[in-house]
Amino acid sequence: MARIGLTLGPCLFNWSAERLLAFYRGIAENSVYDRVHVGEVVCGKRMPFSDPVWPEVIETLQSAGKEVVISTLAMPSTVRERKALAELVSGDVMAEINDITALASLEGRPFTVGPLINVYNEASAAFFAGRGAKSICLPVELPLSSVAVIAKACEGLEAEVFAFGRLPLALSSRCYHARLHGLHKDSCQFICDRDPDGLAVDTVDGQKFLAINGIQTLSDGVQLFLPTAGEASAHGIKRLRISPHTLDMVTVGATYRRLLDGEMSPTEAKESLLALGLPGAPVNGYLSGGVGASQLELA
């Protein structure tokens, strides 16, 4: 049985340049992730602040033996953003596309596909594989039964599943954070940086509901998919994706690595992760084809 890979996905939140540099230095020096994604996915307005950081971050990670992937913007809406996307995917570092328009700029280069692209069946996965995709992180709403079908139909394509973090659900042309603070999107003052793990949103009845991150909607709960290596392989899963939060991501990665290497049980792994202080309750319902906000024992 092949070893299950461990991916650190892109940071979805508005972290300062200083915080990003310190975070990735720690990941390079101490973590077990074999693949690390960098780059801005959510809001193009953040790019002028984070883009200068990435060359140093990439060099640091590569020097530590990490495979680096640049994740691209999921909803490019201006000429500047579309130009930046084209430049990113044409560089020397493999890119993850999060918007299908990026395909036009790849020119035969290998790439990965992010979970914000709608790949819900084997035909869609085969479309990307035929154009050079090496890996695909499947949409978070897909149950494991569908993951297995897609993985079996596209055996040359690494099937990756979102295993940890608030689930990325949707993007909007409007900025929820700006509206909340009485600001316009064009003059948002980058107010989303006040909530480095996203801002929880309750219903009018006070029930936990979702989380917002600028223009992005996330789950309130935190995905905890804790398969053994055998269970992951049985569904054709080659990689697990861990999404960055402000808690100890080195320990999160080490916990998943020990779980996949058979050194820790799923129950022990769950206890270890809960002890870190998650920003929301654990969830995994989508993986069984149920309600995403539920926490179930997966067969």
Strands (DSSP E) contained in the chain are 5-8, 35-38, 67-71, 95-97, 111-113, 133-137, 158-171, 199-202, 208-213, 216-224, 237-242, 282-283
With respect to residue 177, please indicate whether it lies within any of the assigned structural domains: no
C-alpha to C-alpha distance for 246 and 254, rounded to whole angstroms: 16
The CA dihedral of 147, 257, 162, 71, to the nearest 10 degrees, is -120
C-alpha to C-alpha distance for 111 and 37, rounded to whole angstroms: 12
pLDDT (0 to 100) of residue 299: 41
With respect to residue 196, please indicate whether it lies within any of the assigned structural domains: no
With respect to residue 298, please indicate whether it lies within any of the assigned structural domains: no
- Structural domain including 112 reads 5-169+222-288
Residues making up the binding site for [4Fe-4S] cluster? 43, 175, 188, 192
pTM: 0.95
With respect to residue 41, please indicate whether it lies within any of the assigned structural domains: yes
With respect to residue 201, please indicate whether it lies within any of the assigned structural domains: no
C-alpha to C-alpha distance for 62 and 8, rounded to whole angstroms: 14
Query: How many domains does the chain divide into?
Result: 1
Q: Report which DSSP code applies to 22.
A: H
C-alpha to C-alpha distance for 232 and 138, rounded to whole angstroms: 14
With respect to residue 204, please indicate whether it lies within any of the assigned structural domains: no
pLDDT (0 to 100) of residue 298: 56
Q: Kindly report, residue by residue over 158-174, the tens digit of the pLDDT.
A: 999 999 999 999 999 88
Query: What's CA 119's distance to the chain center, in Å?
Result: 15
Residues making up the binding site? 43, 175, 188, 192
C-alpha to C-alpha distance for 188 and 173, rounded to whole angstroms: 13
Q: Residues near 160 by Cβ (< 8 Å), separated by ≥ 6?
A: 5, 7, 135, 136, 137, 138, 237, 238, 239, 240, 241
With respect to residue 119, please indicate whether it lies within any of the assigned structural domains: yes
Question: Which ranges of the chain have pLDDT less than 50?
Answer: 299
Region of 298 please: left (phi>0), alpha (psi -120 to 50) or beta. Answer: beta
* CATH classification of the domain holding 113: 3.20.20.70
With respect to residue 206, please indicate whether it lies within any of the assigned structural domains: no
Q: Give 162's strand partners.
A: 241
C-alpha to C-alpha distance for 153 and 163, rounded to whole angstroms: 22
Distances (CA, A) of 205 to 3, 170, 222: 46, 23, 21
